[in-house]
Amino acid sequence: SAVISQKPSRDICQRGTSLTIQCQVDSQVTMMFWYRQQPGQSLTLIATANQGSEATYESGFVIDKFPISRPNLTFSTLTVSNMSPEDSSIYLCSAKTLSNTGELFFGEGSRLTVL
Amino acid sequence: QKEVEQNSGPLSVPEGAIASLNCTYSDRGSQSFFWYRQYSGKSPELIMSIYSNGDKEDGRFTAQLNKASQYVSLLIRDSQPSDSATYLCAVNSDGTSYGKLTFGQGTILTVHP
């Protein structure tokens, strides 16, 4: 398994501002992903964070709104830009380990509230 | 659109009973299947994975996979109040071990004493 640390764990933000969430994994992983979980909903994949290159975004998510970096194998950031109340959500960092079994592990999540 | 559907909840069972959670998926090429448990206010926690047809048992949990019917289920025996949570079915959606997971909408399980 992997231990995934995210920060901030929660924040209250003003409309129009941006916030960057950091994700650190305690071991080398193959893949890192960012998910969003809106209140009462399941998990929706935002993008795959690729090491040293641009992230791969899912339909409905764009780089200008959710820029992602992954400078090395164990660290990634997600920025939520120009926030609106609709961005209030839990953002989850996740990773797959080198075990090659496809299992996905999650960080504790970052709960954002946009006023 | 690759989809994962779970039986609608919430599901309520008495303590000691068997809880049955079901999931269907649309992509026949899917190869890996997972069940996650998510307590309120917490992140998802992996409880079972299954990769081939049949049953896989781990303690009180049994995962069942039927690729022909595109169906995966989770049975929880001797249900305990501590099993009360949302259970998420997840399917590998690109056919590789490195691929992304698509999640179902979740089933809320309540185990009452």
Asked if B88 lies within 8 A of A42 by C-beta distance, the reply is yes
DSSP of A1-57: ---EEEE-SEEEE-TT--EEEEEEESS-EEEEEEEEE-TT--EEEEEEEPTTS--EE
Residue A104: list chain B partners with CB under 8 A: 34, 46, 90, 101
User: Which one has a higher pLDDT value, A9 or B97?
Assistant: A9
Residue B8: predicted pLDDT: 73
For A103, which of B34, B96, B99 is closest by C-beta distance?
B34
Host H or E run for residue A77: strand A75-80
Kindly identify which residue of chain B lies nearest to residue A34, measuring between CA atoms.
B100
For A102, which of B42, B92, B102 is closest by C-beta distance?
B92
Q: Is the pLDDT confidence value at B104 over 90? A: yes
**Considering only A38-42, A95-99, B28-32, B85-89, which range has the smallest mean pLDDT?**
A95-99
Residue A113: list chain B partners with CB under 8 A: none
| Gap between the Cα atoms of B21 and B14, Å rounded | 15
Residue A103: list chain B partners with CB under 8 A: 34, 46, 49
Residue A96: list chain B partners with CB under 8 A: 97-98
**Considering only A47-56, A69-78, B39-48, B89-98, which range has the smallest mean pLDDT?**
B89-98
Asked if B46 lies within 8 A of A31 by C-beta distance, the reply is no
Our CA-based measurement puts residue B3 at a distance from the nearest CA of chain A, in whole angstroms, of 12
Q: Is the pLDDT confidence value at B29 over 60? A: yes
- Can you tell me which residue has the tokens 């400078």? A71
State the pairing for strand pair B85-92/B33-38.
Answer: antiparallel
Could you tell me what percent of chain B has a pLDDT over 70?
Answer: 94
Asked if A33 lies within 8 A of B100 by C-beta distance, the reply is yes
Asked if B34 lies within 8 A of A104 by C-beta distance, the reply is yes
What is the overall mean pLDDT for chain A? 92
Please name the amino acid found at residue B30. S
Give Cβ neighbours of residue B30 (< 8 Å, ≥ 6 apart). Answer: B2, B70, B91, B92, B93, B95
Residue B98: predicted pLDDT: 60
The model's pLDDT over B53-95, given as tens digits with 9 standing for 90+, comes to 999 999 999 999 999 999 999 999 999 999 999 999 999 876 6
Paired tokens of B70? 């595109």
User: Which one has a higher pLDDT value, A38 or B100?
Assistant: A38
Q: Is the pLDDT confidence value at B103 over 80? A: yes
Residue A100: predicted pLDDT: 61
Asked if B101 lies within 8 A of A104 by C-beta distance, the reply is yes
Residue B70: predicted pLDDT: 95
Residue A115 CB coordination number (10 Å) = 9
The model's pLDDT over A15-69, given as tens digits with 9 standing for 90+, comes to 999 999 999 999 878 789 999 999 888 899 999 998 888 999 999 999 999 999 9
| Residue of B4, B35, B40, B101 for testing the chain A interface, max A β-carbons within 10 Å | B101
- Can you tell me which residue has the tokens 């399941």? A42
Q: If you ran DSSP here, which 8-state letter would residue B41 be given? A: T
